[in-house]
Amino acid sequence: EVAQVIDVPVAEAVKALLDLGIMAPAGAQVDETILIALGEAYGIDFEYEEPEEEKVATGRPVFHGKHMEPRPPIVTVMGHVDHGKTTLLDYIRQTNITAREAGGITQHIGASTVTYEGKNIVFLDTPGHEAFTAMRARGAQATDIAILVVAADDGLMPQTKEAINHARAAGVPIVVAVNKIDKPAARPDRVRQQLSDVGLVPEEWGGDSIMVDVSAKTGEGIPHLLEMVLLVAEMEELRADPTVTPEGIVIEANLDKGKGPVATVIVQQGTLRKGDIILLDTTWGKIRAMLDSRGRQFLKAGPSTPVEILGLTSVPQPGEHFVRVDNEKSARDEISKREQEKRESENVTAKRLTLEELYSQLKEGEIPQLNLLVKTDVQGTNEALCAALEKMGTNEVGINIIHRGVGRIAESDIMLATASNAVVIGFNVRPDKNAERIAEVEGVQIRLYNVIYDVVDDVKAALEGMLTPTI
Ligand code: GDP
């Protein structure tokens, strides 16, 4: 963050500190020594104030139980188009199928479990941050770890940055796969430099980002990548209690001609059993069968197990939550109650945070934080505007730019804003039709400007409003 404020690449700041004998990897807690040293190195007069206790809200469910056990990590592969996400997923899944099963048909159910050295890893089948953020917008977070694929012959691209921002906004740790190293044009060190400039500094350079050179084509480096994913999973202490009431989320769902409504769910805690009655957000059902991607039937499924379930009364949406209930009647009653409530509130449109309302949304004792998503017509303006906005944050009110980008305001921007409760700022750009429609449905506020001072004035007014509630 300091590097960003003084506008030097993170790797350079880390090195400058190292030259002064201070070990401070990217992301390290900044103390007085570090701040003063950086000030001296770059000729800036910093004043240090003790930070207040910081709250980390990742949005990931934290489950507590008496019998917590380690559970497999759930991984999403992200990255720029054509950088090799699909090839990587295919390689990992294929090499995992044992010879005996190789002839069998694997069908797409939305997620698959692979085993590496006796440990399981669950991969979500749809790569990219769109599905990931669409689920978050519904309040569900399935992903524990993101693998960010960056092609070594192409480097950091717009969707790479987008993926980084989406993973960060969700508080999901990133493991970088520097892909296509088999290609003669591959320049993995250039990728590391580019990633350092956006705050992902490789461990071998004193940072804390894990980066692994791989080839999704030849398979080189992939065992190491899986090892690193398991290492991060261990550090994250992913745990769940298999003995409590089962609950989890829907990854995918569709209507099958023969089977009726089918949904792939991931159990987050407890153990789901054939015959259980489950209540989802919009539907319910009695589990008639549970299958994995190889068509194997399950009688029970514990934490981090993806299974396709049959027996729902209608098709749910991805991101819906499920929980086991005692009997059919309570499930049916709850759904009709919800449907009734929905009908009653249909005339009231969804409303999210607007600049004006920010204050009233805050819980007591929280440091107010204004989340912004900034899109501009050109890169230079983006940097200037974001720098101006970031300067406006104080100890009492924070400004958090969750995503910055160049170009029209697109659907994925709105989904990210929805998931992070952010206000979208457009400077000399407009939303496209789709984005406009979704913003309307989701109640995301889009503010359009063409004078920087107007943005600054509005945000200032909003921040002041956050300090002195008028309600
Ligand atoms: P996605 O859009 O990120 O899913 O990218 P794909 O997996 O579809 O890969 C895009 C292209 O890059 C395809 O032609 C792949 O065969 C190729 N590709 C992917 N990984 C590698 C790799 O490690 N080495 C080489 N040489 N080609 C790769």
179 C-alpha vs ligand 1 centroid, how far in Å? 8
Nearest-atom index, ligand 1, CA of 180: 23
Q: Whose CA is nearest to atom 22 of ligand 1?
A: 180
- Over residues 172-206, the pLDDT tens digits come to 999 999 999 999 999 999 999 999 999 999 999 99
Q: Is the CB of 216 under 6 A from ligand 1?
A: yes
The predicted pLDDT at position 375 comes to 94
Q: Whose CA is nearest to atom 2 of ligand 1?
A: 82
Pocket-testing residue among 87, 130, 159, ligand 1, by greatest number of atoms within 8 A of Cβ: 87
- Over residues 232-255, the pLDDT tens digits come to 999 999 999 999 999 999 999 999
Q: Which residues does the chain have with pLDDT short of 50?
A: 52-60, 99-100, 348-351, 468-471
The predicted pLDDT at position 14 comes to 82
212 C-alpha vs ligand 1 centroid, how far in Å? 16
Residues 6+ apart with CB under 8 A from 240: 63, 65, 68, 69, 71, 268, 269, 270, 302, 303, 304
The predicted pLDDT at position 58 comes to 42
Looking at residue 227, its amino acid is E
402 C-alpha vs ligand 1 centroid, how far in Å? 29
Nearest-atom index, ligand 1, CA of 83: 3
Q: Whose CA is nearest to atom 18 of ligand 1?
A: 84
Q: Whose CA is nearest to atom 20 of ligand 1?
A: 84
Q: Is the CB of 86 under 6 A from ligand 1?
A: yes
Q: Is the CB of 87 under 6 A from ligand 1?
A: yes
Q: Which residues are annotated as a binding site for GTP?
A: 79-86, 125-129, 179-182
The predicted pLDDT at position 441 comes to 86
87 C-alpha vs ligand 1 centroid, how far in Å? 6
The predicted pLDDT at position 64 comes to 65
Q: Whose CA is nearest to atom 14 of ligand 1?
A: 82
328 C-alpha vs ligand 1 centroid, how far in Å? 48
110 C-alpha vs ligand 1 centroid, how far in Å? 21
The predicted pLDDT at position 275 comes to 96
Nearest-atom index, ligand 1, CA of 80: 3
Q: Whose CA is nearest to atom 25 of ligand 1?
A: 180
Measured CA to CA, the distance from residue 375 to residue 435 in angstroms comes to 13
Pocket-testing residue among 76, 78, 82, ligand 1, by greatest number of atoms within 8 A of Cβ: 82
Tokens 């449905």 appear where?
441
85 C-alpha vs ligand 1 centroid, how far in Å? 7
The predicted pLDDT at position 53 comes to 41
- The answer to whether the complex's ipTM is over 0.95 is yes
Nearest-atom index, ligand 1, CA of 216: 23
The predicted pLDDT at position 362 comes to 52
75 C-alpha vs ligand 1 centroid, how far in Å? 19
Nearest-atom index, ligand 1, CA of 90: 7
82 C-alpha vs ligand 1 centroid, how far in Å? 6
Q: Is the CB of 333 under 6 A from ligand 1?
A: no
83 C-alpha vs ligand 1 centroid, how far in Å? 6
Q: Is the CB of 83 under 6 A from ligand 1?
A: yes
Q: Which residues are annotated as a binding site?
A: 79-86, 125-129, 179-182
Q: Is the CB of 71 under 6 A from ligand 1?
A: no
Q: Whose CA is nearest to atom 17 of ligand 1?
A: 84
186 C-alpha vs ligand 1 centroid, how far in Å? 13
Reported pTM? 0.69
